[in-house]
């Protein structure tokens, strides 16, 4: 039976526990407070060699009480990041990834990581377009996939997929 | 023209020079148009065999009627003229481009005396008309009111200006060696297999290669087809043309290539003369078609140069080389 | 020969260049390259600001092929997703299937039986050859034109690819969109004698790779067009998440097949071709070396395909039976011909054990590669832009999803 999740690298996990003030990290990656996100990311990149930006994926969750929702949290978006460090053959270290997440309540914004990894620019644009997460300080906040005048963000759970948009396209 | 009729002794088919020119002109123009049309079939077959495919097979035996089908298709296409074009220039350009290529045919000698107009400045006339083709190409690029067409037209002008000079310098070598501008005289100077491509050794052969390269550039063939450059400029100057207007550009390109081969065969390969094997119009046609096939071969095996690399090639290498060749051939003439 | 231009700095040029700050004397022309253009590999649109023929700024616009695959996946069961993602990277469909199913299997805790692992690996390597053939061929088209020498290269590449499609057709019944991977294994077993035919094809192809190498290296025009064009800075490439042949051509020795083995790659030694030039020619040469290496890997693995079942789950019950636990999320990646192709899945929270994902994101290497364009194009001419796009080899179906 293979491991369900790639194990977090031990040295980074220890550092992240200390940084976040927690005892244990979930295997899907820790939740980082929004106000410390850029600091966390910069340290990951500069001190722990996580140069390779893998992805950034936002997931929308409805608030409690609305149909199809659960949990006690408000209407929110969880942005999951994953960064990778390449193998270090001198130290015998394989390639490792480190995921981390940030919770963005709807109507609020999260700092953009485009200043840390330039690759976050296009990734965050895609999430902005499809999920509607607002990234503060993003250098180029235009839509990517959908037309500029498209109403709504299709990957939100409250997006009415059956609505016909005029003109139909 | 073996066993030529007595009247042809003076070089005329008929006793009247204008009638001779008219009849010969009609024959040559229609034959060349036909050859250009069927050369498209030939090129498609040629390319197909190079690329492991059968090529056109459906229309007629071995697809031989494909040019007719293509022509009919072009005639039936809707003639779309975009609203924002400069209409008079847009309409005029395809006509002029064909006229400019056909005009060159006037001075090409197909056999002894078999020439529409035996000008004593034949070489200059032919080269001047073939460079005049740039004008309608630029007209088309400008009048199309399209950025791709404009870029193509600009490239055509830049390329034409650059390659005009090596072309003329290379053509100067046979002129100097033969001592005449008349194409007929140049052929006669090469009688007995003393082709300028072979004799004198050195300048003639290099000048032949230079002339051939420069005429490829003049005729916009790969690797010098940057004005058309369909992978960069979509179709360059012809991007807004549809139907038969596009067809005329297409035809003119093939005509130009055919004529460039004919001029190269006349200037460097001895024209209609084949030494001990006799002389005749068939040798001229054969040499032209062989050069024509070489152009196809080059086209289907080479990639395209970049615009600035093309200019650098001309100005850095070909122009100085041409000057050296002219000097070398002049020295040969003085010493010999 | 590169155009001298102040914009062309040795470090990264500014992709967000403010045109108001550019030389006011210059006549800038905005040229829309695409979405209908023969050399943008589909429906990519690049807005180029040209000073003469030199590109000052390039802004890629994607999304013309956006089909909403990720939204569609939220409505499909885990098993139904495979044929949909087939169409993402439409040059190497096997990779797409493996990438999503690897993520589902990791979350479900299912491991495919060894025979299925070997089949997947062999299929992936053969698919990699086919994909690189298309890449080299279309790059030739970009440089030589559809009516010219480029078309000859393209058709020679298609000749070899045809053999591969025949092989896959024999296994799956489809020439292109195979739908042969499924959660926990494969749908179609190898037919008798397939391994011998596959080996013959691989031998034939690896015996012919020198033709492409000679086309690239012995052709002075190709060298002139591609050498020193669009040099990718390795640090920039990593920050952008660009992987695969582009990263390896820039001197970064990283290949997931060797560094994070999955499938049957753990059983075999893999030589990773790396070049340090980082230019367009180096990327093509890395692809050719990978073709040769892939043929070797697949031939070696074909000798040792273990016997046994090809699926870990019962095929009849598959549909709707694959359910992940609440709210679990995970990521799995494979090395596709274009780089790291991964899938990020969040399992449904709505009902317990819902059979479709709550959120699925496909981390496509082409999307990251396209984001290189604003850095690569400035300072090059219009003719180079098609060479650059061809050399980073984007697949628009994968970029836009």
Mean pLDDT of the residues in chain B: 81
* Residue pLDDT, tens place only, C297-326: 999 988 888 888 887 766 545 555 555 555
pLDDT at residue C182 in the model: 85
In chain A, the residue whose alpha carbon lies closest to the alpha carbon of C347 is A59
- Of chain C, the end-to-end C-alpha distance in Å amounts to 37
The two structure tokens encoding residue B26? 């009609």
- Nearest residue to C2 (alpha-carbon basis) of C228, C177, C203: C228
Contact indicator for B140, B154 with CB cutoff of 8 Å:
no
CATH code for position A61: 3.30.460.80
| Sheet strand arrangement including A96-105 | A52-61, A76-85, A96-105
> With 70 as the cut, is the pLDDT of residue C163 above it?
yes
Q: C354: pLDDT confidence band, cut at 50, 70 and 90?
A: low
All structural domains of chain C with their residue ranges: 5-61, 69-400
Question: Does the beta-carbon distance from A5 to C106 stay under 8 Å?
Answer: yes
Residue C123, preceding bond cis, omega within 30 degrees? no
pLDDT at residue B155 in the model: 86
Contact indicator for B100, B133 with CB cutoff of 8 Å:
yes
Q: C10: pLDDT confidence band, cut at 50, 70 and 90?
A: very low
Q: C11: pLDDT confidence band, cut at 50, 70 and 90?
A: very low
Phi-psi region of A93 (alpha: psi -120 to 50; beta: other; left: phi over 0): beta
pLDDT at residue A114 in the model: 85
Q: CA distances (Å), C144 to each of B230, B235, B246, C193, C204, in order?
A: 9, 13, 21, 40, 26
Burial class (CB in 10 A: 0-12, 13-18, 19+), A72: exposed
Contact indicator for B236, C383 with CB cutoff of 8 Å:
no
Percent pLDDT > 90 in chain C is 8
Contact indicator for C74, C349 with CB cutoff of 8 Å:
no
Contact indicator for B130, B105 with CB cutoff of 8 Å:
no
The two structure tokens encoding residue B266? 């006349």
- Report how far residue C392's alpha carbon sits from residue C370's, in angstroms, rounded to the nearest whole number: 8
Chain C residues with CB-CB distance to B under 8 A?
Answer: 1, 3, 29, 31, 37-39, 53, 140-152, 155-156, 159, 219, 221-222, 224-225, 381-386
- Nearest residue to B259 (alpha-carbon basis) of B221, B226, B233: B221
Highest CATH level, class, for C69-400: mainly alpha
Q: CA distances (Å), B34 to each of A116, B27, B185, C4, C373, in order?
A: 66, 11, 28, 48, 47
Percent pLDDT > 70 in chain B is 95
Overall average pLDDT of the B276-293 stretch? 82
- Nearest residue to B267 (alpha-carbon basis) of B202, B201, B181: B181
In chain A, the residue whose alpha carbon lies closest to the alpha carbon of C397 is A145
pLDDT: is B10 or B142 the higher one?
B142
- Of chain A, the end-to-end C-alpha distance in Å amounts to 46
Q: How far is B221 from chain C (nearest CA, A)?
A: 9
Q: How far is A105 from chain C (nearest CA, A)?
A: 18
- Report how far residue C379's alpha carbon sits from residue C372's, in angstroms, rounded to the nearest whole number: 14
> With 50 as the cut, is the pLDDT of residue C9 above it?
no
Question: What is the enclosing helix (H) or strand (E) of A85?
Answer: strand A76-85
Q: Averaging pLDDT over each range in B37-46, B51-60, B178-187, C243-252, which range is the top one?
A: C243-252
In chain C, the residue whose alpha carbon lies closest to the alpha carbon of B44 is C147
Overall average pLDDT of the C45-55 stretch? 85
Q: CA distances (Å), C297 to each of A116, B139, C132, C211, C252, in order?
A: 38, 57, 15, 21, 21
Question: Does the beta-carbon distance from B51 to C155 stay under 8 Å?
Answer: yes
pLDDT at residue B27 in the model: 81
Contact indicator for C293, C274 with CB cutoff of 8 Å:
no
> How many other CB atoms sit within 10 Å of the CB of residue C12?
13
Q: Name the residue facing B147 among C29, C38, C155 (closest C-beta).
A: C29
DSSP state of A53: E
Give the domain extent around A48.
10-136
Contact indicator for C345, C326 with CB cutoff of 8 Å:
no
Q: CA distances (Å), C211 to each of A9, C198, C204, C308, C337, in order?
A: 45, 21, 12, 39, 20
Question: Does the beta-carbon distance from C344 to A139 stay under 8 Å?
Answer: no
> With 80 as the cut, is the pLDDT of residue B16 above it?
no
Q: How far is B156 from chain C (nearest CA, A)?
A: 14
The two structure tokens encoding residue B137? 């190409």
Q: How far is C219 from chain B (nearest CA, A)?
A: 8
pLDDT at residue A64 in the model: 61
- Report how far residue C95's alpha carbon sits from residue C84's, in angstroms, rounded to the nearest whole number: 13
Q: C131: pLDDT confidence band, cut at 50, 70 and 90?
A: very high
Which residues in chain A are closer than 8 Å to C111, comparing Cβ atoms?
Answer: 1-2
Inter-chain CB pairs, B–C, below 8 Å = 102
Give the domain extent around B219.
86-335
* Residue pLDDT, tens place only, C366-387: 999 988 888 888 888 888 888 8
Which residues in chain C are closer than 8 Å to A28, comparing Cβ atoms?
Answer: 328-330
Contact indicator for B301, B320 with CB cutoff of 8 Å:
no
Residue A1, in any domain of the structure = no
Which residues in chain C are closer than 8 Å to B226, comparing Cβ atoms?
Answer: 383
Overall average pLDDT of the C181-189 stretch? 85
Question: Does the beta-carbon distance from C155 to B52 stay under 8 Å?
Answer: yes
Question: What is the enclosing helix (H) or strand (E) of A77?
Answer: strand A76-85
DSSP-assigned beta bridge partners for residue A56: A81
Q: Name the residue facing C238 among A51, A130, A155 (closest C-beta).
A: A51
- Nearest residue to B221 (alpha-carbon basis) of B5, B2, B39: B39
Number of structural domains (chain B) is 1
Q: Name the residue facing C63 among A61, A118, A144 (closest C-beta).
A: A144
Rounded (10°) CA dihedral C167, C170, C175, C179: -110
DSSP state of C10: S
pLDDT at residue C305 in the model: 86
Q: How far is C401 from chain A (nearest CA, A)?
A: 9
Q: What is the 3-state secondary structure (H, E, C) of chain B?
A: CCCCCHHHHHCCCCCCHHHHHHHHHHHHHHHHHHHHHHHHHHHHHHHHHHCCCCCCCCCCHHHCCHHHHHHHHHHHCCCCCCCCCCHHHHHHHHHHHHHHHHHHHHHCCCCCCCCCCCCCCHHHHHHHHHHHCHHHHHHHHHHCCCHHHHHHHHHHHHHHHHHHHHHHHHHHHHHHHHCCCCHHHHHHHCCCCCCCCCCCCCHHHHHHHHHHHHHHHHCCCCCCCCCCCCCCCCCHHHHHCCHHHHHHHHHHHHHHHHHHHHHHHHHHCCCCECHHHCECHHHHHHHHHHHHHHHHHHHCCCCCCCHHHHHHHHHHHHHHHHHHHHHHHHHHHHHC
Q: B7: pLDDT confidence band, cut at 50, 70 and 90?
A: very low
- Of chain B, the end-to-end C-alpha distance in Å amounts to 33
Which residues in chain C are closer than 8 Å to A88, comparing Cβ atoms?
Answer: none
Interface of B with C in 127-156 (CB under 8 A): 147-148, 151
Q: Do chains A and C touch (3 or more CB pairs under 8 A)?
A: yes
Number of structural domains (chain A) is 1
Question: Does the beta-carbon distance from B302 to C39 stay under 8 Å?
Answer: no
Q: What is the 3-state secondary structure (H, E, C) of C12-42?
A: CCCCCCCHHHCCCCCCEEEEEECCCCCCCCC
Q: C5: pLDDT confidence band, cut at 50, 70 and 90?
A: very low
Chains that touch A (3 or more CB pairs under 8 A): C
> With 70 as the cut, is the pLDDT of residue C13 above it?
no
DSSP state of C395: -
pLDDT at residue C325 in the model: 58
Overall average pLDDT of the C52-65 stretch? 85
Q: Averaging pLDDT over each range in A76-80, B104-108, B201-205, B273-277, which range is the top one?
A: A76-80
> With 60 as the cut, is the pLDDT of residue C7 above it?
no
Q: Do chains A and B touch (3 or more CB pairs under 8 A)?
A: no
- Report how far residue C368's alpha carbon sits from residue C375's, in angstroms, rounded to the nearest whole number: 12
Residue B74, in any domain of the structure = no
Residues of chain A below pLDDT 70? 1-5, 64-73, 163-169
Task: Count the helix, strand and coil residues of chain A and give each as a percent rounded to the nearest 5.
Answer: 20, 25, 55
The two structure tokens encoding residue C36? 């209908």
Question: Does the beta-carbon distance from B231 to C31 stay under 8 Å?
Answer: no
DSSP-assigned beta bridge partners for residue C48: C31, C58
* Residue pLDDT, tens place only, B210-255: 888 888 887 777 677 777 777 778 877 888 888 888 888 888 888 8
- Angle formed by the axes of helices C382-392 and C280-303, to 10°? 20
What pTM was estimated for this model as a whole? Answer: 0.85
> With 70 as the cut, is the pLDDT of residue B61 above it?
yes
Contact indicator for B278, B270 with CB cutoff of 8 Å:
no
Sign of the Cα pseudo-torsion (C332, C336, C339, C343, in order): negative
DSSP-assigned beta bridge partners for residue A59: A78
Any C CB within 8 A of B300 CB: yes
- Angle formed by the axes of helices B319-335 and B203-218, to 10°? 140
Dump strand ranges (E) for C35-110.
45-51, 54-61
Q: B9: pLDDT confidence band, cut at 50, 70 and 90?
A: very low
The two structure tokens encoding residue C99? 């990438």
Residue A77, in any domain of the structure = yes
- Nearest residue to C22 (alpha-carbon basis) of C59, C50, C3, C61: C50
Question: Does the beta-carbon distance from C241 to A55 stay under 8 Å?
Answer: yes
Which residues in chain B are closer than 8 Å to C136, comparing Cβ atoms?
Answer: none
> With 50 as the cut, is the pLDDT of residue C4 above it?
no
Contact indicator for B222, B304 with CB cutoff of 8 Å:
yes
> How many other CB atoms sit within 10 Å of the CB of residue C336?
30
pLDDT at residue A46 in the model: 84
Which residues in chain B are closer than 8 Å to C219, comparing Cβ atoms?
Answer: 302-303
């Amino acid at each position: 039976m293979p491991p369900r999740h790639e194990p977090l690298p031990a040295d980074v996990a220890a550092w992240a526990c200390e940084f976040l003030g927690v005892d244990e990290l979930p295997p899907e990656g820790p939740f980082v407070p929004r106000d410390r996100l850029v600091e966390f990311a910069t340290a990951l990149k500069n001190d722990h060699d996580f140069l390779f930006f893998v992805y950034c994926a936002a997931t929308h969750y409805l608030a409690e009480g609305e149909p199809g929702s659960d949990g006690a949290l408000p209407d929110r978006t969880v942005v999951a990041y994953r960064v990778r460090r390449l193998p270090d053959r001198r130290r015998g270290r394989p390639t490792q990834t480190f995921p981390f997440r940030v919770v963005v309540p709807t109507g609020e914004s999260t700092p953009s990581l485009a200043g840390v990894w330039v690759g976050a620019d296009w990734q965050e644009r895609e999430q902005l377009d499809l999920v509607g997460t607002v990234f503060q300080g993003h250098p180029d906040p235009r839509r990517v996939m959908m037309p500029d005048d498209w109403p709504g963000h299709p990957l939100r759970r409250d997006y009415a997929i059956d609505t016909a948009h005029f003109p139909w396209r | 023209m073996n066993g030529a009729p007595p009247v042809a002794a003076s070089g005329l088919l008929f006793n009247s020079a204008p009638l001779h020119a008219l009849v010969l002109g009609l024959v040559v123009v229609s034959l060349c148009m036909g050859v250009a049309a069927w050369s498209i079939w030939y090129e498609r077959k040629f390319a197909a065999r190079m690329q492991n495919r059968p090529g056109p097979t459906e229309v007629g035996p071995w697809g031989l009627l494909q040019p007719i089908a293509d022509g009919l298709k072009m005639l039936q296409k809707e003639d779309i003229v975009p609203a924002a074009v400069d209409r008079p220039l847009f309409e005029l350009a395809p006509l002029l481009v064909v006229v400019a290529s056909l005009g060159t045919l006037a001075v090409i000698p197909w056999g002894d005396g078999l020439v529409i107009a035996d000008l004593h400045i034949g070489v200059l006339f032919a080269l001047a008309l073939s460079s005049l083709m740039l004008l309608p190409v630029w007209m088309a690029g400008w009048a199309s009111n399209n950025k791709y067409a404009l870029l193509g037209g600009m490239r055509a002008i830049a390329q034409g200006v650059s390659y005009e000079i090596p072309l003329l310098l290379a053509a100067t070598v046979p002129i100097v060696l033969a001592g005449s501008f008349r194409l007929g005289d140049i052929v006669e100077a090469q009688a007995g297999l003393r082709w300028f491509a072979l004799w004198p050794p050195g300048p003639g052969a290099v000048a032949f290669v230079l002339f051939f390269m420069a005429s490829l550039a003049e005729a916009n063939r790969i690797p010098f087809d940057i004005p058309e450059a369909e992978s960069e400029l979509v179709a360059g100057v012809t991007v807004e043309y549809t139907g038969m207007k596009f067809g005329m550009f297409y035809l003119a390109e093939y005509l130009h290539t055919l004529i460039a081969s004919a001029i190269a065969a006349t200037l460097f390969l001895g024209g209609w003369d084949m030494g001990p094997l006799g002389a005749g119009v068939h040798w001229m046609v054969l040499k032209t078609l062989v050069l024509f096939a070489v152009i196809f071969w080059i086209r289907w095996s080479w990639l395209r140069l970049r615009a600035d690399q093309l200019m650098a090639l001309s100005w850095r290498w070909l122009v100085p080389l041409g000057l050296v060749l002219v000097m070398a051939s002049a020295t040969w003439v003085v010493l010999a | 020969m590169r155009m001298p231009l102040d914009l062309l700095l040795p470090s990264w040029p500014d992709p967000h260049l403010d045109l108001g700050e550019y030389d006011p004397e210059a006549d800038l022309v905005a040229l829309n390259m695409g979405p209908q253009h023969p050399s943008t590999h589909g429906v990519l649109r690049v807005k180029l600001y040209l000073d003469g023929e030199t590109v000052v700024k390039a802004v890629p616009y994607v999304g013309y092929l956006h089909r909403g695959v990720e939204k569609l996946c939220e409505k499909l069961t885990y098993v139904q997703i495979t044929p949909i993602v087939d169409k993402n990277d439409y040059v190497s469909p096997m990779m797409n299937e493996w990438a999503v199913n690897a993520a589902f299997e990791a979350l479900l805790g299912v491991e495919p039986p060894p025979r299925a692992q070997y089949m997947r690996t062999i299929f992936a390597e053969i698919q990699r050859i086919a994909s690189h053939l298309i890449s080299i061929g279309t790059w030739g088209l970009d440089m030589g034109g559809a009516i010219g020498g480029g078309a000859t290269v393209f058709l020679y590449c298609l000749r070899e690819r045809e053999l591969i499609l025949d092989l896959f057709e024999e296994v799956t019944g489809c020439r292109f969109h195979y739908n042969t991977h499924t959660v926990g294994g494969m749908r179609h077993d190898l037919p008798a004698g397939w391994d011998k035919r596959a080996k013959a094809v691989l031998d034939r192809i690896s015996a012919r790779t020198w033709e492409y190498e000679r086309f690239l290296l012995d052709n002075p025009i190709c060298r002139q067009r591609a050498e020193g064009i669009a040099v990718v800075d390795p640090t920039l490439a990593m920050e952008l998440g660009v992987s695969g042949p582009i990263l390896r051509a820039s001197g970064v020795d990283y290949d997931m097949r060797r560094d994070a083995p999955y499938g049957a790659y753990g059983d075999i030694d893999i030589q990773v071709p790396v070049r340090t030039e980082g230019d367009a020619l180096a990327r093509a040469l890395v692809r050719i070396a990978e073709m040769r290496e892939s043929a070797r890997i697949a031939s070696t693995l074909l000798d040792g395909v273990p016997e046994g079942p090809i699926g870990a789950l019962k095929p009849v019950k598959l549909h709707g039976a694959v359910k992940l636990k609440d709210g679990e999320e995970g990521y799995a990646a494979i090395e596709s011909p274009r780089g790291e192709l991964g899938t990020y899945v969040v399992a449904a929270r709505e009902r317990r054990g819902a059979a479709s994902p709550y959120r699925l994101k496909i981390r496509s290497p082409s999307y990251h590669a396209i984001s290189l364009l604003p850095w690569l194009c400035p300072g090059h001419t219009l003719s180079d832009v098609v060479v650059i796009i061809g050399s980073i080899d984007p697949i628009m179906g994968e970029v836009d999803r």
